[in-house]
Amino acid sequence: MTIDLHTHSHYSDGTKSPAELVQLASMSGVTAIAITDHDTMDGVGEAEAVSAKYGVEVVPGVELSVVHENLVLHILGYYVDAQQKDMAHALTVLQEARDRRNEKIIVKLQELGIAASIEEMKEISGVGQTGRPHIAKLLMNHGVVRSMSQAFNEYLAKGCRAYVGRFAYSAKDAIAFINAAGGIAVLAHPIQVDKTLCVLNSLLPVLKDYGLEGIETYYPSQKKKMQKRIRKFAATNDLLLTGGSDYHGDIRPGTRLAGGHNVYVPPELLETMKERLSKKGTL
């Protein structure tokens, strides 16, 4: 058995509904799953509603893209109260920033002679947050590109023809929002911050001072030797260990939830997280 504390539903850039993710977890031997959509927690309730039916524990979560000096980081928040006023405001600001960026990207595509529209983008998105993966699908529908990767490499990635940046909170502010909302802040996939992990020596103590409480140790592209190094960093900085698949569904062909030949996440990590929350008096 395993748990999976990093998944995305169609409320952000995944392809499955929260209920479908819970059902898939049940079929895959995953005993607990966190819904960690980008900048929104709108899908958590749907997952919780089917938790008992499928015998899978649902952990409420969110993933925030943040900046720290010259780094772009992703911070996961677990057991966050989305209704807490500071967190609710922060999510609203981020969602509005996404909407503004999407509109600007569509304008750029139109200027390039591509018959893209806001209405078509929203139809592709369906529910929740619309983002660049949905615009990539729009480009595929128009025959402009053949794949998601081509859409990003030629149009949507930083420096490309239709790229538009968007607002992001600082790591310090984002971690503060998560803590104020009763949650636990975790640094996601450190390998994506620095493939050598060398930056963690100086980065983690700073984030720890901001209120960071965990680091995503178990992740598909972080193999055993790397996991061992991350565990040492975690021990040095008194950080919780977490892990997950970062599953997005069909948008990333060949990927799957934790377990099997994918990443294994020890179930006891969730109990340790709950113990930390109990000591804080927020669980």
> What is the per-residue pLDDT across 224-235, written as a single tens digit (0 to 9) for each?
999 999 999 999
> What is the per-residue pLDDT across 105-161, written as a single tens digit (0 to 9) for each?
999 999 999 999 999 998 888 777 788 888 998 999 999 999 888 999 999 999 999
Considering only 242-246, 248-252, 274-278, which range has the smallest mean pLDDT? Answer: 248-252
Parse the chain into domains and list their residue ranges: 2-90+182-280
Q: What is the C-alpha to C-alpha distance for residues 81 and 264, in angstroms, rounded to an integer? A: 28
Element of type H or E holding 58 = strand 57-68
Q: What is the C-alpha to C-alpha distance for residues 121 and 136, in angstroms, rounded to an integer? A: 10
Rounded to the nearest integer, the mean pLDDT of the chain is 94
Q: What is the C-alpha to C-alpha distance for residues 76 and 189, in angstroms, rounded to an integer? A: 10
* 8 Å CB contact between 37 and 9: yes
SS3 per residue for 199-260: CHHHHHHHHHHHCCCEEEEEECCECHHHHHHHHHHHHHCCCEEEECCCECHHHCCCCCCCCC
pLDDT on residue 260? 81
**Global pTM value:** 0.93
For the cut 90, the answer to whether the pLDDT of residue 192 exceeds it is: yes
For the cut 80, the answer to whether the pLDDT of residue 253 exceeds it is: no
Q: pLDDT > 90: what percent of the chain? A: 84
CB count in 10 Å sphere of residue 134: 21
pLDDT on residue 282? 74
pLDDT on residue 214? 98
DSSP letter (8 states) at residue 33: E
User: What is the CATH architecture assignment of 2-90+182-280?
Assistant: Alpha-Beta Barrel (3.20)
pLDDT on residue 279? 86
How would residue 250 be classed by pLDDT, with cut points 50, 70 and 90? confident
How would residue 195 be classed by pLDDT, with cut points 50, 70 and 90? very high
